Amino acid sequence: MKGQIVKTLCVSGMVASLALFTSGCAKDNVPSDPAEGSGATTVSPTVTDAPDIGATAGSVEPIDSDGGTATNDNFKIVEGRTHEGMLPVYFDFDRFVIRDDQKSRIEGNAEFLKANTTYKITIEGNTDERGTKEYNIALGEQRALVAKKYMMNLGVSSDRIFTRTYGEENPLLFGHDEYSWSQNRRDDFIIQ
């Protein structure tokens, strides 16, 4: 286990070094999604140049220290900080639209809630560390709200879904590399 962690950290460090060498710093301005300026929330993404890291984001192994058996109010946390039966939804940098590769996750979460009619959830919006604190709080909120709206469109009652934003304040991974950032750009689904 330790060898795998060391190997992962070494690879992450090399990727981060390469990324810093080949690209400039991230900008701290408002996202360029056309829907954002109009106040509309987009649930059908048109991202075509998204990196392929999202398809497997978060699925390697549980991050919690006890191998995936941590509980919160008797519900097992299995990926990210999302409770068992649901999966977190990951986002592209500086975006709050649901990616095509994440639609099945959020649809599965909606099916889980429809099958468990007494459950209420909080969708927690998170960002990576890049950007200002204020900007990341707003981006995390938009991520949580777009997931809520998507689930409502799938038939889940709005009075069963609450939202919360952490922005960059609740990272899952503390690395300063693309893999860590990709894990921190997510919505978690927490059963109340």
pLDDT tens by residue, the chain, 192 residues: 455 554 555 445 544 444 443 444 444 443 434 344 434 333 333 333 333 334 444 443 333 433 333 344 566 765 888 999 999 999 999 999 999 999 999 999 999 999 999 999 999 999 999 999 999 999 999 999 999 999 999 999 999 999 999 999 999 999 999 999 999 999 999 999
Residue with tokens 């998170």: 126
The correct answer on CATH 3.30.1330.60 for the domain covering 45-191 is yes
Taking the mean position of all CA atoms in its chain, how far away is CA 164? Answer: 13
- Residue 73 pLDDT: 53
- Residue 13 pLDDT: 53
**CA-closest candidate to residue 89, choices 134, 29, 27, 154:** 154
- Residue 79 pLDDT: 81
The residue ranges of every structural domain in the chain are 45-191
Are 103 and 111 spatial neighbours (Cβ–Cβ below 8 Å)? no
Residue 149 CB contacts under 8 Å (≥ 6 apart), including other chains: 41, 43
* DSSP string across 35-103: HHHHT----S---SS--GGGGTTT-SS--STTSS--EETTEEEEETTEETT---EE--TT--SPPGGGH
